[in-house]
Amino acid sequence: MIEQEAEQLITQANDAGVSDIHLLPGENGYESFFRINGALNLFDKHSFEWGKRLISYFKFLANMDVGERRKPQSGSCALTVAGNTMELRFSTITNVKLYESLVIRILKQSRTNGASFRTYFPKNQTILRQLVRRKSGLILFSGPVGSGKTTTIYQLLRERIQDEPLQVITMEDPVEIYEPRFLQTEVNLRSQVTYDVLIKASLRHHPDILMIGEIRDEETARMAIRGALTGHLMIATIHAKNAIGVLGRLQELQITSQQLSQTLIGIISQRLIPRYCELCDHQCSQHCSHIPKDLQRLALLEILHGSALELNLQRPNTDSYQTLNKELRRAWSLGFINEKAFTHYELV
């Protein structure tokens, strides 16, 4: 039964610590890949018929159009397998031979409250904790998909509300991590519930901290600035290459330098970098047992704040802080990562 095979695939991926499953059409059939620690690993090979039936089943679970194979589609669903509840996000694209490819993102809904986000340099964690303890202002996180931005934000907020009772409202698309102590809301485009609509409603709810899943447009950016100006701590993600790129992105969204100087208190650009394993003689593979799985990839952070942030608001591209490339070189020189990881993640 295709249902059982689908559950088995998700179970195997979950047990292996996979972040994404890629089901790709090849010359002779479908190939399934597991993305582990940022790298693709071939898992299995299948027939075209098997691949088409599996993709159709997942599209059905996510309320996607099963009969539509030409247009790209996306969707999501919650799936409970062997007692583990996961949020699955789907994306399909069809190739020139009209075979669909499918990428499944696995988002575990349950998280251990005592878990801590891991970084190569603990001093950066201290800086983040200090920023999140501010009463008001705007903190922005950037980084590619899968770089752990949401996980870092959630853990920082969990630590914050352990110290004092606060109302934390999150606005996401969709909710990736379920936390009963937060008031979590979700974008719903079919019901015209957009980020700016949720922010407006949340500001009337008298929150202490608002977390925005992603700043995508001018209206959302303006509402984030408004929230910070009215005495709230606003935390959001935004797509940009690095911390300086965030400033350029905000300018594209019609946010003025004066507004930023009044609200912006920190920009964090984050990457998850595989650790070098001396026993593997390279970065850890999916079968490595020399380093615990939760330590095989650690966060590397570029943090622009304080006087360096003020200086770059006046004169962008001022090399007055520890950039991501500097942090990469530091991790390489200390033997935490190898040369391959350094050259792969180096920003040019």
Domain ranges of the chain: 2-107, 122-345
The pLDDT score that the predictor gives to residue 288 is 61
| Both tokens assigned to 202 | 């949340």
pTM of the model: 0.81
Q: Which comes out higher in pLDDT, residue 108 or 161?
A: 161
Q: Looking at the predicted structure, is the pLDDT value of residue 111 above 50?
A: no
Instruction: Return the residue matching tokens 């600035």.
Output: 225
Single-letter residue type at 303: I
CATH 3.40.50.300 fits 122-345, yes or no: yes
Tell me what the mean pLDDT of segment 108-115 comes to.
Answer: 49
Q: Give me the DSSP letters along 227-263.
A: HHHTT-EEEEE---SSHHHHHHHHHHTT--HHHHHHH
Task: Measure the CA dihedral 324/274/117/199, to 10°.
Answer: 60
264-274/137-142 β-pairing: parallel
Please name the residues in contact with 327: beta carbons below 8 A apart, sequence gap of 6 or more: 120, 121, 300, 301, 302
Q: Say how far apart CA 275 and CA 92 lie, in whole Å.
A: 32
pLDDT in tens, 126-144: 999 999 999 999 999 999 8
147: pLDDT confidence band, cut at 50, 70 and 90?
A: confident
> Out of 24-38, 66-80, 290-304, 319-333, which region has the weakest mean confidence (pLDDT)?
290-304
pLDDT in tens, 271-302: 988 887 766 655 555 556 666 666 778 899 99
> Out of 80-94, 207-221, 276-290, which region has the weakest mean confidence (pLDDT)?
276-290
Q: Say how far apart CA 226 and CA 116 lie, in whole Å.
A: 31
> Out of 50-54, 63-67, 228-232, 283-287, which region has the weakest mean confidence (pLDDT)?
283-287
The pLDDT score that the predictor gives to residue 306 is 94
Q: Please, are residues 207 and 104 in contact by the beta-carbon 8 Å criterion?
A: no
Instruction: Return the residue matching tokens 């700043």.
Output: 215
The pLDDT score that the predictor gives to residue 112 is 42
73-81/183-186 β-pairing: unpaired
Instruction: Return the SS3 of 224.
Output: helix
Q: Domain 2-107 is of which CATH architecture?
A: 2-Layer Sandwich (3.30)
